[in-house]
Structure 1
Amino acid sequence: MAVPRIVIVGGGYVGTYAALRLERALRPGEANVTLIDPQSYMTYQPFLPEAAAGNLEPRHVVVPLRRVLRRTRILNGRVTAVQHANRRLTFAPHVGPAAELEYDILVMSVGSIARTLPIPGLAEVGIGFKTVGEAIFLRNHVLAQLDIAASTDDAALRRRALTFVFVGGGYAGVEALAELEDMARDACRSYPNVSPADMRWILVEATDRILPEVSRELGAYTIAELRRRGIEVRLQTRLESAVDRHIVLSDGEEFDADTLVWTAGVRAHPLITHTDLPRDEKDRLRATASLRVEGVDDAWAAGDCAAVPDLTKPQPALCGPSAQHAVRQGKLLGDNIVASLRGRPVRDYRHAYAGSVASLGLHKGVAQIYGVTMRGFPAWFVHRTYHLSRIPTFNRKVRVVADWTLALFFPREIVSLGALQRPREEFEQAARPTAAAWPS
Structure 2
Amino acid sequence: MIVGAGFAGYECARTLSRLAKGAAEIVLLNPHDYFLYVPLLPEVAAGILEPRRVAVSLTGTLPGVRLVLGHAHDVDFDARRVSYTDPEGREGSLSYDRLVLTVGSVNKLLPVPGVAEHAHGFRGMPEALYLRDHITRQIELAGAAEDPAERSARTTFVVVGAGYTGTEVAAHGVLFTDDLARQNTGLRDGPRPRWLLLDVADRLLPGLDERLSRTADRVLRSRGVDVRTRTSVKEATSDGVLLDDGEFLHSRSLIWCVGVRPDPLVDSLGLPTDKGRLCVDKFLGVPGRPEVFACGDAAAVPDLTRPGEVTPMTAQHAQRQGKVAAHNVAASCGQGSPRAYEHRDLGFMVDLGGVQAAANPLHIPLSGPLAGALTRAYHLLAMPDNRIRVAADWLLEAVLPRHGVQLGLLSSWSVPLDTETPEVARLPHDPPETA
TM-score by length of 1: 0.90
Separation in structure 2 between the aligned mates of residue 320 and residue 306 of structure 1, nearest angstrom: 10
Amino acid at match of 1:115: K
The one of 126, 150, 163 equivalent to 2:156 is 163
The match for 1:182 among 175, 183, 201 is: 175
Q: RMSD of the TM alignment (CA)?
A: 1.6
The 3-state SS of whatever aligns with 1:247 is: strand
Name the CA distance, whole Å, in 2 between partners of 1:321 and 1:245: 34
Determine which structure has greater relative contact order: mean sequence separation of CA pairs < 8 Å that are 6+ residues apart, divided by chain length. 2
Alignment-derived partner of residue 226 in structure 1: 220
Q: Percent identity?
A: 38
1:292-311 aligned at under 5 Å gives the runs: 292-311=285-304
2:348 corresponds to 1:359: no
Matched residue of 1:86: which SS?
Answer: coil
Q: Counterpart in 2 of 1:204?
A: 198
CA distance in 1, matches of 2:85, 2:216: 44
Q: How far apart are residue 146 of structure 1 and its match? A: 0.9
* 1:375 corresponds to which of 367, 374, 384: 367
Match of residue 92, structure 2, among 89, 99, 117: 99
Match of 1:420 among 397, 409, 415: 409
Cα offset, 1:389, TM superposition? 0.6
CA-to-aligned-CA distance 1:134-181 (integer Å, 9 cap, x gap): 111111111111101111111111011011000001010000111011
Could you say if the C-alpha distance between residues 343 and 16 of structure 1 is closer, same or farther in structure 2, counting changes exceeding 3 Å? closer
State yes or no: 1:63 paired with 2:73.
no
Q: Does 1:128 align with 2:130?
A: no
Which residue matches 1:90?
A: 83
Q: Is the 8 A contact 2:211 2:365 kept in 1?
A: no
1:72-121 deviations in whole A, cap 9, x for unaligned? 11111111111212212212222254233221111100000111112111
Q: Does 1:286 align with 2:262?
A: no
On the 8 A contact 1:84/1:276 being kept in 2, the answer is no
- Note if 1:216 corresponds to 2:210: yes
- Asked if 2 retains the 8 angstrom alpha-carbon contact of 1:81 and 1:89, the reply is yes
Within-5 A mapping of 1:308-347: 308-313=301-306, 315-342=307-334, 344-347=336-339
> What is the alpha-carbon distance in structure 1 between the residues aligned to residue 124 and residue 72 of structure 2?
19
Cα offset, 1:123, TM superposition = 1.1
Moved over 3 A (4+): none
3-state DSSP of counterpart to 1:175 = helix
| Aligned 8 A contact 2:71 2:84 in 1 | yes
In the aligned structure 2, how far is the partner of 1:52 from the partner of 1:162? 16
1:399 equivalent in alignment to 2:412: no
SS at match of 1:211: coil
Match of 1:427 in 2: none
Of 105, 110, 113, 2:103 maps to 110
What is aligned with 2:399?
409
Say which of 319, 334, 350 aligns to 2:342.
350
Measure, in 2, the Cα distance between the counterparts of 1:404 and 1:300: 38
1:192 aligns with 2:185: yes
Alpha-carbon shift at residue 197 of structure 1 (Å): 4.7
Query: Which string of whole-angstrom CA distances, capped at 9 and with x for unpartnered residues, describes residues 288-312 of structure 1?
Result: 1111112321001100000001112
Query: How far does residue 409 in structure 1 lie from its aligned partner after superposition?
Result: 2.7
* Distance in 1 (alpha carbons) for counterparts of 2:246 and 2:53: 42
Give the deviation of 1:343 after TM superposition. 5.2
Instruction: Choose 1 or 2 for highest CA Rg.
Output: 1
Unaligned runs of 5+ in 1: 1-6, 423-440
- Partner of 1:206: helix, strand, or coil? coil
Contact 1:288 1:309 in 2 (8 A): yes
Q: 3-state SS of the aligned residue for 2:344? A: coil
SS in 2 for 1:387: helix
Cα drift, residue 25 of structure 1 = 0.9
3-state SS of the aligned residue for 1:166? strand
Contact 2:2 2:27 in 1 (8 A): yes
The 1:245/1:42 distance shift into structure 2, 3 A limit, reads: farther
> What letter matches 2:252 in structure 1?
D
Note the C-alpha offset of 1:24.
0.9
Among residues 57, 81, 85, which one is paired with 2:74 in the alignment? 81
Residue in structure 1 matched with residue 236 of structure 2 by the alignment: 242
Give the aligned partner of residue 20 of structure 1.
14
Match status 1:48 vs 2:41: yes
| Aligned-residue offset at 1:239 | 0.5
Deviation at 1:253, TM superposition (A): 0.6
> AA paired with 2:406?
S
Aligned residue for 1:298, secondary structure, equals: strand
